[in-house]
Amino acid sequence: MNEASKVDQPEIDQPAQTRPRPWLLGGTFAATLIGTLTGALLAIWGLVTMVGHQQEPAAPVADVSEISTDPEPWGLNWPHQFDGWKATAGDGVFGGSSALPQSKLDTHPWLKRLYAGYAFSIDYREARGHAYMLYDQGVTERLTKKPQPGACLHCHASTSVLYRRIGMEALGEEVTPETLAVEFNQPAVMRGFEELNGKAYQEVLTLLLATPDGTPDENEPVFPSAPAGGNSSEDTGEPLPQGHVPSGEAHPVTCIDCHDPKTMAMRVTRPGFLNGIAALAAGDAALPHLPSIDQWRTGPRDQPYNPNQLASRQEMRSFVCGQCHVEYSVSNNITLTYPWAKGLRADDEEAFWDDFRLPDGSAFYDFKNGETGAPSYKAEHPEFELWSQGIHARAGVSCADCHMPNQQGEEAMTLSDHRVTSPLENVKSACQSCHPVSESELRAWVATIQTRTRDLTQRAAVAMTAMLDAIREAQAAGATDAELAEVFTHQRKATWRLDYISSENSKGFHADQEAARVLAESIDHSRQAQALALRWRAPETPDVSVLFSRPVRGVTPEQPPETANP
């Protein structure tokens, strides 16, 4: 462009160039920073508030103490957990009916032969929730038709205050509602347990009904007590008798059986468990799933292992269940015993009973089989023991993690589900918190394990009945008990193993490989006993050395085929 062009070009107003203003940039940054910090602080406050709601219970509105076996005052303080506990009754609380669940003896007739000579062959039913544990015991024909020891109440009722009361009396201590309420007093509880162990069921129940429960002004339990004298099979499903009035308050397992009333911390209250776990710790069985016992074993061991002092919170989430869901023996002539001194496997417990002696020095047995007369053991419900052999125990998963999974309650509170039910009732909380697979796949896993266990149980039952038939035939042929001693040993081993898995309520799920192993051994012992017994009625074995034995041959002919002439 030449000079003339420059002159002729009109002037155009140019906008002034914007210059940065440091004070404005600083203000914007400060505002952003303040907003971010404010949001972060609000988020932290929300999290702190949520954790506080999760960990800090509301201020109690009712006093509970070591005498509060009645759960209703606890329910005023912890209503959500109380509602869950009441829900163990299922749809409604009894519905005014004495209807009982399905008889296992009708579903599996072979159980009558397994338990022949024992009260379980009279009445044995499917399990129900905790709400029914005392009621169902009171009406079972095992109790109403045959005498039973008071030790049966050890797990079916809330008994710690009763044990403390009787123990304090035996120790010469003052016994009033006030002194009973002060502390747990484990020495007195253990002494009372020993004092009552040999007494009859009705005598101990009467003492339980007369024991203070923390609510002296009312006398009606949350769940109805059993009708006096129980009922019979003909009465099943009929309404409760008119005018049925309880003679006192006795409760099934309640809050105080698992929680310290002062701190709500979990605790063990059952003397049988306290004795059993101390014996287990003192032994040398491998217990990788119970680290506090391993730690105690490396210490001075000057005091017995006490779970209430040494167990972790996660261990206690299984121990409180293991107080009752275990194998044990009750008898009028021995103290209720958990057979754990040699370990927690079925074989360990069997070895314990093999070595156990009654006060008169004779060998222990629960009953003699009514068909063969063989001394036999009766397995109870060894869920804790079978769980101990499974993958979940090894992984540190407790009973409560699956059967009482956490749920989100009001005000962001995290609550454990006190319905104490099957994990399949809440797969999302109980299973999918660890297993990131679909609910249908998880259900299929469970169904596969339980179906295989049921099928193997049925095979073991077929072998067991064939064994009993063979033994009875041998006895009919003249075999004496002395001559059948080895057969009886196999019978006891076979029936113990079959009973162990069929009485355990997970249908093998707690430890599927262990359940299969135990059932396989049951089949083996049944067949060994059957084979030995058959020899007593079979003719004398002929000489088999004269029989022809085929020589060993190869896959291909030993002689080459003839070749055709060229």
Evaluate whether residue 68 is within a structural domain.
yes
Give the domain CATH number at 433: 1.20.140.10
Tokens (6 digits) for 139: 């009406």
Evaluate whether residue 497 is within a structural domain.
yes
Where in the sequence is the domain holding 449, given as residue range(s)?
427-537
* Tokens 């019979």 sit on residue: 232
> DSSP secondary structure string, 539-563?
PPPPP-TTS--PPP--SS-SSPPPP
Evaluate whether residue 134 is within a structural domain.
yes
Written as tens digits, the pLDDT of the chain (566 aa) is: 444 443 343 343 444 444 455 544 455 555 666 666 666 566 555 544 544 444 445 567 899 999 999 999 999 999 999 999 999 988 654 433 456 889 999 999 999 999 999 999 999 999 889 999 999 999 899 999 999 999 999 999 999 999 999 999 999 999 999 999 999 999 999 999 999 998 999 999 999 999 999 999 888 889 887 876 554 444 444 454 555 445 568 999 999 999 999 999 999 999 999 999 999 999 999 999 999 999 999 999 999 999 999 999 999 999 999 999 999 998 768 899 999 999 999 999 999 999 999 999 999 999 999 999 999 999 999 999 999 999 999 999 999 999 999 988 666 678 899 999 999 999 999 999 999 999 999 999 999 999 999 999 999 999 999 999 999 999 999 999 999 999 999 999 999 999 999 999 999 999 999 999 999 999 999 999 999 999 988 878 888 888 888 888 888 877 766 665 55
For 218, residues 6+ apart whose C-beta sits below 8 A from its C-beta are none
pLDDT at 438 (0 to 100): 97
Q: What are phi and psi of 220, to 5 degrees?
A: -130, 115
Evaluate whether residue 447 is within a structural domain.
yes
Evaluate whether residue 441 is within a structural domain.
yes
Q: What are phi and psi of 330, to 5 degrees?
A: -115, 135
Evaluate whether residue 205 is within a structural domain.
yes
- Per the structure, the count of domains in the chain is 2
pLDDT at 300 (0 to 100): 95
Tokens (6 digits) for 466: 């064939």
Collapse the DSSP code of 329 into the 3-class scheme (helix H, G, I; strand E, B; otherwise coil) and give the result. strand
Evaluate whether residue 492 is within a structural domain.
yes
pTM: 0.85
pLDDT at 549 (0 to 100): 84
Q: What are phi and psi of 526, to 5 degrees?
A: -65, -45
pLDDT at 60 (0 to 100): 76
Evaluate whether residue 515 is within a structural domain.
yes
